[in-house]
Chains A and B, each alone.
Chain A
């Protein structure tokens, strides 16, 4: 079934159609959330919350819009909210931000594969740069779509992507030329 048909049925209340859409987009959303939050547990919570919010609002989804862009808009906002509230929670429990940064990196130390190494490099980017890099190079969004998802202008997004790439370049060169 085409995505357009699935979306149409989901809008009409077909929970199976919506669940199929959720299964199709789970991976993309999980990837974005994991890198934005750098914590598997928070990422899964945020992704679940995103799909449930979208489910409750699907009846208002306008035909002709792209479902993926609409979904990512909800997801990015949920990620930003979760990151802000986690930062507040961390400040309540610990003053050692370095330790917390290490603790939220869920990958075991010493085990290096390409995905882990690239993830570690991307994780070091400023959140807005990281977000822009993920939407462009991992999820393949066009700049106009990224503008809808993030609420930023296209020029600003191009600058964020460029700055992200400039920061990543030496780390990626080290990873891929070992």
Chain B
């Protein structure tokens, strides 16, 4: 390879590292909220004794509106899950595809078990992907909280290392929790 080839190699690596992280938007939003909160606490600017009254009012209005907007979206989401529970129906009947991924390069087979398939290890076998180190399956789930685990090689029940732990240990082992939001996003 020539020097020019190597230079292109480094630039290509640099470009690869410019890919945004999956949660970057949410982290950016958190930062902006902190900046606005900081502006309400701050009382000095460049030798001025205080922020102009109109600037402080504007900043307060922005922070208030941001809080209201979030509340409205969440209120509608919450009311959509307040279904009659006596019937046993899922709070939101619409199903959404949720992907489950488990890294187990040495496993011969992996199944997904959970409250959505009767914990039956034969119901939802997972498929090898990504160069044979990873197992995955996509399952249609209604919005709400679901408890699950992986069964490796037919008898080893394993919690998902990437997911929240379910607190209940009815049978001596922990499972994992996935929350499917009404919007269709997985929350873990």
Contacts and interface: CB of A to CB of B under 8 A. Distances in A.
Do A and B interact? yes
Interface string B31-62: 11011101100101111100110010011001
Q: Per DSSP, are chain B's interface residues mostly helix, strand or loop, or mixed?
A: helix
Interface residues of A, number: 50
A115 B11 CA distance: 13
A52 interface: yes
Contacts of B38: 52, 55-56
A26 B27 contact: yes
B51 A13 contact: yes
B9 A173 contact: yes
Contacts of A111: 101, 103, 130, 133-134
Contacts of B17: 31, 35, 115, 118-119, 122, 134, 137-138
Interface residues on chain B, size class: 35 or more
CB-based closest 9 A-B pairs: A59-B46, A137-B14, A110-B133, A15-B39, A110-B103, A118-B16, A26-B28, A138-B14, A13-B45
Interface of A: 11-16, 18-19, 22-23, 26-27, 30-31, 34-35, 40, 44, 47-48, 51-52, 55-56, 59-60, 108-112, 114-115, 118-119, 121-122, 133-134, 136-138, 140, 165, 168-169, 172-173, 175-176
